Amino acid sequence: MNRIYLDYAATTPLDPAVSKTIRDFELKYLGNPSSVHREGQQARAEIDFARAAIAKFLNAKPQEIIFTSGATEANNHAIKGVVSRALFDWGMRPHIITTELEHHSVYNVVKEMEKRGVVEATFIKPSSDGLISADQVIKEIKNNTVLISVIFVSNEIGSVLPIREIGKQLSSINSHLSTNRKVFFHVDAVQAAKFYNLNVEKLGCDLMTITAHKLYGPKGVGALYMRTGLKIDNLMSGGAQEYAMRPGTQNTAGIIGFAKAVKLLGGLEEREALGKKIGELRNQLRNSIESIPGVEMNGPMGDCRSPDNLSVTVRDIDQDSLITALDLAGIAASTGSACVSGSSEPSHVIQALGKITDSQSATVRFTLGKFTTEKEIKQILKIFPEIVNRLRK
């Protein structure tokens, strides 16, 4: 049985060209990039080339790119680093603005700091279709606000949030504040990089998170963009790697693969064309699944939704039973974020939409990618209704 993979938001398959680049690198270069001998400096030069490629992708400077182990580390570094520095500089409890649509590596971090009394936090509630306006965010700024952290594209329901407008309004506010009291803007762009423009200058952000394995690259490597002049504290202490912001020997092969994956994405026109193609397949899937009685779509549609995402809630079915049945039928889908797979708690994102999240409601997320075919979609359209009908009996 040929399996159908529709969980691209959890992780993407490794592109064969990226796999070859990593393999070739590991066969050719063996040095630690921090070593002064030739082998070490050759590895260091490759990291520099990769850093420049990712900086170009974001319209940033190479020295503004900090390599990490992935997006969770980068998100933690951005938030905790800003808060730690604010506590030291201000001597008062800082305020963070974020949303109820965030990935757990932002949402849970802020919730935990709020619970411990480290920060004051405002979580912006989305509309019933999963959207948030820039005005909703900006109006929550207070005298002690240090950070706004907003996801670009929701990993669970695909909402595309108004990052550029938030950045524009915040820039206007910051122009009237002293340097040490400006409000920083962090964007989790992990799900956005495949299709959208991540030009950090146009978006007006100070910090941005991306990761390789959501871009057909390797797992275990991500990046934090940090605007020049921005001072935040480190999460760890140790060596001087990554401009002394992230100590430890770099995942050199992973970084090289990351850069290759970014290059393969192409320019904005190519990414938008891929998004259009994937969106057409997603719409075929949506139109058919929505016609099943007791099935409700989660999140917005049109330009306010990422083209790869379809999240639906199916009534009168146990969630685990549905996902297991799909898996046994050869379809890899998910309930939402892979970072909380197996949790019995309902998704905070689905709850924020005002959806009923009882034991007889199953939420399933299908996310498509560049290797998804029309033949696979047609197979799912045959299998999914059969599974739903069987489980409801």
| Domain parsing of the chain, residue ranges | 4-13+267-392, 16-265
**What does the pLDDT read at residue 355?**
76
CB 387 within 8 A of CB 329: yes
Element housing 134 (H / E):
helix 134-138
Q: How far is 87 from 299, CA to CA, in rounded Å?
A: 37
Q: What is the pTM of this model?
A: 0.95
Q: How far is 20 from 245, CA to CA, in rounded Å?
A: 30
Mean of pLDDT values over 103-115: 98
CATH of 16-265, one of 3.40.50.450, 2.130.10.10, 3.40.630.10, 3.40.640.10: 3.40.640.10
Check pLDDT > 60 for residue 282: yes
φ and ψ of 177, to 5 deg: -110, 155
**What does the pLDDT read at residue 178?**
82
Q: Does domain 4-13+267-392 have CATH number 3.90.1150.10?
A: yes
> Annotated active-site positions, please?
339
CB 209 within 8 A of CB 222: yes
Closest CA to 310 of 362, 351, 385, 365: 365
Check pLDDT > 90 for residue 356: no
pLDDT tens, 6-64?
Answer: 999 999 999 999 999 999 999 999 899 999 999 999 999 999 999 999 999 999 999 99
